[in-house]
Structure 1
Amino acid sequence: MAQDISFKIRNNNGDTVQVGAWRFQGASGGPKVHLQAGVHADEIAGMLVLHLLMQHLAVAEAEGRLNGSVTVVPQANPLGIGQFRQGRILGRFHDATGHNFNRGFDQSAAMEQPSTNVQEWQKKLVQLAAPADVMLDLHTDDEALPYIYVHRSFWPQGYELAAAMKMDLAIIWDEGGDGSFEETIIAPWLREGATQGRLAATLELRGQGDVSDRYATQDAQGLYAWLCGFGVIDGANARPEWPVEVRDMAQMETILAPQPGVLIFEKELGDVVKQGQRFARILRRPGDPTSEVVLVAEQTGRMVTRYRDRLISQGVVVAKFTGSQVSRHWRGGLLDPN
């Protein structure tokens, strides 16, 4: 039976809340795995995936087929889970401080005494995951194809994970600087040159509305199959074959809204849009045809993400595309800077 290793932190009003965490323990000497979902509390899909996966892990543990250990944190962020406003959860940023929940983990982990409850939560979550050889952080985008976000040190060995999860795209990154959870966990590995036999990745499980038994079952089965292939679970595993498009982060095109207004997409997720071809338009003042702005692709590529709502404010990400060359807007850093 999985060991309950949940821990408590302080909420905004000083009361304690719990972060549910469980550890499935197998034979000693195997890989240590850390799986988590919901660091951004409004990204729900991974929570259901890990809920289903835990049932399979319990069977493997009971049957003695588990090697090493698997730690599962299916709903990692109790601070963000309670942030409902007018019926909608706002879980990317901490209400009280404006802190992006997936930024600054490195600074929080280095603090002897964290000064805010977000920093306290971040420090404890890093401490829980730090001993792992494998760390997978489950996220979602607005509306999106499934994709993997992985440091160059773990590619191409990360292909089998992407294929097992039937992910359409792998985005390879080299530099961060934002202190995301993934970046914070791998930082000591990179400093020590100790990446052999290890893997860390952020898995973007489609869009925020893509929460269903069908998708979650597929994703849980994919994770389980990959864990078998990685040697964490004794079980049959055929090498997956799946077409994964690989792009450096610098080749991704991020299109921002030049004005606020009604957003009308003319292309669907996954569509290939040629350079200069229109894919959406924004109508600033309905009734005034001169207020409409047409958006076109910067270079030929597939539409990977789209903004979830159909009323957009200026400067917000409308869509992201793959490209075959470095974007003219690339300045280094993050795919999503905020």
Structure 2
Amino acid sequence: MARQTERHPLISEAPGTQRTVIFHRYGAGTPGKKAYIQAALHADETPAMAAAHHLLQKLEDADKKGLIKGEIVVVPYANPIGLDQFSSDVLLGRLHTGGEGNFNRSWYDLTEMTKDRLQGRLGKDAAENVDIIRSAMQEAINEVVPVSEFDSLRKLLVGEAAKADFVFDLHCDDDSLPYLYISSLNWPDCQDFAADFGSYAVMMAENSGGNSFDEVYTRPWAELGRLYPDHPIPQATMSMTVELRGRPDVSDEIGAKDATALFNFLVRRGLVEGSAPPLPKALCDATGTNACEIITSPGAGFVTYCLELGSVVKKGQQIATLIDPTAEDPTEARTPICAGTDGIFFTAKQHKAVKPGMVVAKVAGTVALKDGLLLED
């Protein structure tokens, strides 16, 4: 079954211009499971595009051999708006420069959009209820009327991903080891991918706040289950944000390695025929996203680090130093930056110049530290 490549135009916001998004679809119409994999919703996170590129090479080979047994949609770049946001040769793809904020925040609330449509439609069969809910989700999405280019991008991506059993949103951090954000509803079901991917941290929450893309597809099943307790509603979608190290970590070798982990997952779930290799030993267990300490700079200057990424730290242990080049007394220019929890130091800052409140490190701990919005913006 040949690959289908689709070009989806977005709303044009300037005369003579129109951006498009490409979907590569394998196994179109195949009964069974469906996977949706998108790269670089934060458009400056190039490792995601490298992983998608190498995954497509593997899927091309599998498709030619007739090994595709489910439907697999790969979006090699999910955000052409952000890809066009260069300033002085620097790509600024995390925030919408037109004022619509973080590209990975404020996505649809499919529970709210769907719940009233399910009145009188659900039954006693869990599998049938999944189909009914997915149909209701599509009805709601189809009724959205985009009024901006970004609105049309939201509708396009959610409309496709909401049909999938498995959703992978590929990202990266600044300077980082590989890690995952997942729903607590999907653990330990995704433990095999975490091990194969070599994740140094797996952070889970049912609702981390901010309506990030991956949670659009996991939250409704539990939330609708609580709204309709007399009807069996399983956790029908596994979705995760995959953080592919740091922005500079782009190479054919790394991209191929990450693509192999994704491909092995597709094999293990039966979307590609074959046998996956034995799983490596997991590097970590899952912990709550609310136990991840996001450490910010206490002032302006530049930072140096005294520990390597992957170091196990104790509360109060120094991770970095803030150096103030404007200090009148140079002997007082250094301020230690310390961990506030026990855990794994897994993210640092690539560019060392900082201002007050800028994120300089993350530590994946095990003790809850906060409530509400659990992610940095």
Offset, 1:196: 4.5
Give the secondary structure class of the aligned counterpart of 1:214: helix
| Bigger Cα displacement from structure 2, 31-40 vs 289-298 | 289-298
Unaligned runs of 5+ in 2: 111-139, 226-232
2:357 is the alignment partner of 1:315: yes
| Bigger Cα displacement from structure 2, 103-112 vs 84-93 | 103-112
Offset, 1:27: 7.6
2:277 is the alignment partner of 1:238: yes
Contact 1:8 1:18 in 2 (8 A): yes
Offset, 1:282: 0.9
> Identity percentage over the alignment?
32
The one-character-per-residue Cα deviations of 1:228-285 (angstroms, maximum 9, x if unpaired) are 1111111012341322322111211111111111111111111122221211111123
Q: Which residue of 2 aligns with 1:13?
A: 14
Q: Which residue of 2 aligns with 1:212?
A: 251
Give the secondary structure class of the aligned counterpart of 1:35: strand
Contact 1:105 1:123 in 2 (8 A): no
The one-character-per-residue Cα deviations of 1:68-102 (angstroms, maximum 9, x if unpaired) are 20000011100000111111100001111142111
Q: Which residue of 2 aligns with 1:200?
A: 239
Q: Which residue of 2 aligns with 1:300?
A: 342
- 1: CA distance, partners of 2:38 / 2:156: 13
CA 11–83 in structure 1, closer or farther in 2 if over 3 Å, else same: farther
The aligned amino acid for 2:283 is: V
- 2: CA distance, partners of 1:148 / 1:31: 22
Larger strand share, 1 or 2? 1
Contact 1:52 1:220 in 2 (8 A): yes
Contact 2:207 2:219 in 1 (8 A): no
- 1: CA distance, partners of 2:57 / 2:338: 46
Give the secondary structure class of the aligned counterpart of 1:67: coil
The one-character-per-residue Cα deviations of 1:26-70 (angstroms, maximum 9, x if unpaired) are 683221110001100001111111111112112222222111200
Offset, 1:188: 3.1
Give the secondary structure class of the aligned counterpart of 2:41: coil
The aligned amino acid for 2:325 is: R
The aligned amino acid for 2:196 is: A
- 1: CA distance, partners of 2:161 / 2:316: 45
Contact 1:27 1:66 in 2 (8 A): no
The aligned amino acid for 2:291 is: Q
- 1: CA distance, partners of 2:308 / 2:372: 28
Give the secondary structure class of the aligned counterpart of 2:104: coil
- 2: CA distance, partners of 1:273 / 1:22: 43
Output aligned runs, 1:106-145, within 5 Å. 106=108, 112-145=144-177
| Bigger Cα displacement from structure 2, 186-195 vs 289-298 | 186-195
Query: How many pairs align?
Result: 335
- 1: CA distance, partners of 2:253 / 2:35: 25
Contact 1:303 1:322 in 2 (8 A): yes
- 2: CA distance, partners of 1:88 / 1:48: 18
Scaled by the length of structure 1, the TM-score of the pair is 0.93
Contact 1:6 1:22 in 2 (8 A): no
